Amino acid sequence: MIPVFPALFICWMYILPKPLNKPLSKPYLTLIAIGNRSMGDDGIGLIVVESIKKQLSDDIDVQIWENMDALSVTAELLEIQTPTIVIVDCADMGLNAGESMWFKQSECALDKHLNLISTHGFGFADALALAETLGFKQQLFFFAIQPSDTSFDSAFNNEISETLKNNTAAMCKSLLLELYELLELKQLKQQ
């Protein structure tokens, strides 16, 4: 190929992918962080997933859904092709601030959050119900973190509470253990 303009040739050379030594494997699991940093502790899911992202294997597709409304959540859920999805978010579970809980979708009832819904008038539970109506069938797990304060921060300090800051490392470790347990189960099923 003869370049017409050297800059195009240079760009073309660097855009080419390097040959792979191994075939690309399709991710088994999608890890989704949901949150809104301007709502205090609501941003904890984002912080936890961003903290562990570099430690994850190629079997895990990481997605950050920051400030996403419920209709967008529905659309994104329907686009995911992995058989297993893990959502990391804050949830009011009646626990002490900073405590986390791991559960399957089938083991819980998602309630509408009456004072924190999207501008479209519905929240995550409604988004998931709509996605299921439209064909969403993947296995869904939640890693939920009890918030202390999810009030809107008009100063945009983007700060999580001290309790959650102090527990972030423990939350990261707990989530990593759960994720790798899921991947081990996958490997056992394949044998």
Share of the chain above pLDDT 70, in %: 74
Q: What is the domain class of 24-190 according to CATH?
A: alpha beta
pLDDT tens sequence across 86-95: 999 988 888 8
Mean pLDDT along residues 14-39: 68
pLDDT for res 151: 76
Closest CA to 91 of 153, 170, 35: 35
The pLDDT score that the predictor gives to residue 36 is 87
- For every residue of 118-173, DSSP letters joined together read -TTS--HHHHHHHHHHTT---EEEEEEE--S-----TT---PPPHHHHHHHHHHHH
Domain ranges of the chain: 24-190
- CA-CA distances (angstroms) from residue 131 to 71, 114, 135? 9, 20, 6
When mean pLDDT is compared across 15-19, 102-106, 162-166, 175-179, the lowest value belongs to 15-19
What pLDDT score was predicted for residue 23? 40
**For the chain, what is the mean pLDDT?**
78
- Predicted local confidence at residue 12, as pLDDT: 38
pLDDT digits (tens, 9 = 90+) for 110-162: 665 544 444 445 778 888 999 999 999 999 999 999 888 777 764 445 567 78
